[in-house]
A and B are shown apart, each in its own frame.
Chain A
Amino acid sequence: MGSITGLDGESTLERAGHQSPVAIAMELRSGDRLRTGTHSHLNITLVDGSQLTLFEDSSMVLGGIPSTHRTTFTNLLKGRLRSLIKWSASSSSSAAFEVRTPNAIAGVRGTDFETAYIEGRPCPGFPDCLRYTDVGVYKGIVEVRNPTSTSPVTVLITEGHETKVPCELPPTASAPLGLGEIGGPSYH
């Protein structure tokens, strides 16, 4: 379903219970689990030309094509994943690519977005929730929902915006991406 096209640092591939170091041009299959180490990241190019970047200290499992959806998906278990999806107007599915975390599903209608699954830190705005998913969109639209929530709320995140999915709660409203990098005007 794709291959490794970029590698920096040390990463491992787990396939059918066996672990091996990741190498450039390595072919990937559904069910493969990839882990990146500290100061490492890797790039994956899917067969349709879409590109994924798994950042340091992250872990993901490549999915396949589930019988109920014609959707390619990845399970992000830890860390950050950036997805640059090749999107064509002829795609018949409303969500041809999904990034899943333990508490969120980000279905792609756009091209460039980043997903992070964070554990052990309080979700901003939800201080009692210590695990959350952050989805930020650079291009296109991403549809986000929490399959573990009793509230079936789906939030559409447009370019330049993000949402957080705290614990078993629905995604927060769309907000500008990357506010944490901006403080006061710092004139003095």
Chain B
Amino acid sequence: MPKLRASRPASLAIAILAIAFLCEAPPSNAATDFFDLANPQRLSLTLFASGYGSEKYGTTHGGFQLEQTLTRYLSIAASVSAYQVYQGTGFDSPLAPASRSATRNFGRFEGGLDFTPIEGTSLLVMGGHDVGDSHAPVIDSQFSSWLIPHSLHPLNVSFTAAHYYNNGVTSGTLDFRGVLLSTGSFILLGGAGSAIWGGGSAANAKAQAGPDLGIFVRDLHLRINFQGGYGSSRTYGLVSFSRTFAWDE
């Protein structure tokens, strides 16, 4: 199965609390206007695709995510994605695996909530079901926060956590990135990322880590990220693309 990522709920909560101390204070009126409808409302569509390759296996996936604001602090989200997993060795390209490869395909349908307690900080919690070669529930979460945002080189910390009932694996990722350069056309980011996964079919805990490079192209609202490194699957590489379209209502 793919390199699936997750962590224990307790460690997730501790990490969120730690980040909360480092980022900005929430608005003092947050409690009173938490249920006020956002004005204007915003509908966003994000298209995404990513690929992972290591000496032991590879994955590709792509899809889209819709998000609709409810209040200034809360949005609902839904995503549909398709995964391909290439296990074993002998494939030249993850898009065209050779006959010796074992390929698994499945779709993932998820829905959830996106919390934005303060600008630049968000927690997305999703749950859903896989259909296809993986056929079981899945839950995952994504947290991202900008630290020292009023500076030339703000830092972003993000992590994901997930549990996959199909193979019993839990996993998590942790990324630290900083703004290296900001121009009128793009933002360049650099840092490091890591992943840990284990349990279920993965048995013992496994991990990987490496440097990370990202670029955000302003006019296209396009994000591209690269990561390469070493870990339990030996040398690996990651690339992801996402583009967001948004409409104020």
Interface, chain A (partner B; CB < 8 A):
38, 56-57, 112, 121-122, 124-125, 127-128, 130, 137-139, 159-161, 164, 172-188
Contact = CB atoms under 8 A, between A and B. Distances in A.
The 4 lowest CB-CB distance pairs between A and B, nearest first, are A184-B158, A176-B182, A122-B27, A183-B144
Contacts of B72: 121
A182 B187 contact: yes
Interface stretch (B11-19, B114-122, B127-135): B114-122
A180 B119 contact: yes
Contacts of A121: 72
B184 A160 contact: yes
Given A125-B24, A127-B24, A186 B154 contact: no
B173 A188 contact: yes
Contact-size category for B? 35 or more
Interface stretch (B95-103, B198-206, B216-224): B216-224
B173 A112 contact: no
Contacts of A180: 119-120
Contact of A181 (B27, B48, B173, B221): B221
Nearest to B72: A121
B5 interface: yes
Contacts of B50: 186-188
Contacts of B122: 183
Contact of B227 (A125, A139, A187): A187
A176 B193 contact: no
B92 interface: no
Given A186-B225, A187-B52, A188-B5, A179 B149 contact: yes
A187 B179 CA distance: 18
Contacts of A160: 181-185, 187
A112 B184 contact: yes
B28 A127 contact: yes
Contacts of A176: 152-154, 179, 182, 187
A111 to B, nearest CB: 10
Contacts of B216: 178, 181-182
A56 B249 CA distance: 11
B43 to A, nearest CB: 13
A56 B242 CA distance: 27
Contacts of B214: 182, 185
Given A56-B248, A181-B216, A188-B173, A175 B151 contact: yes
A152 to B, nearest CB: 19
Contact of B119 (A38, A124, A128, A159): A124
B159 to A, nearest CB: 8
Contacts of B93: none
A124 B149 contact: yes
Given A172-B150, A176-B182, A185 B193 contact: yes
Given A182-B187, A188-B173, 20 more contacts: A124-B24, A125-B150, A160-B182, A160-B187, A172-B150, A174-B152, A175-B151, A177-B218, A178-B187, A179-B179, A180-B120, A183-B144, A184-B142, A184-B159, A185-B212, A185-B214, A185-B223, A185-B225, A186-B48, A187-B240
23 contacts: A38-B40, A56-B248, A121-B72, A122-B29, A124-B24, A159-B184, A160-B184, A160-B185, A160-B187, A173-B152, A175-B152, A176-B182, A177-B182, A178-B216, A179-B120, A179-B149, A182-B223, A184-B144, A185-B158, A187-B52, A187-B240, A188-B61, A188-B140
Contacts of B177: 185
Contacts of A124: 24, 118-120, 149
Most buried by A among B5, B61, B150, B244: B150
Contacts of A178: 187, 216, 218
Contacts of B151: 173, 175
Given A175-B150, A186-B50, A186-B225, A181 B244 contact: yes
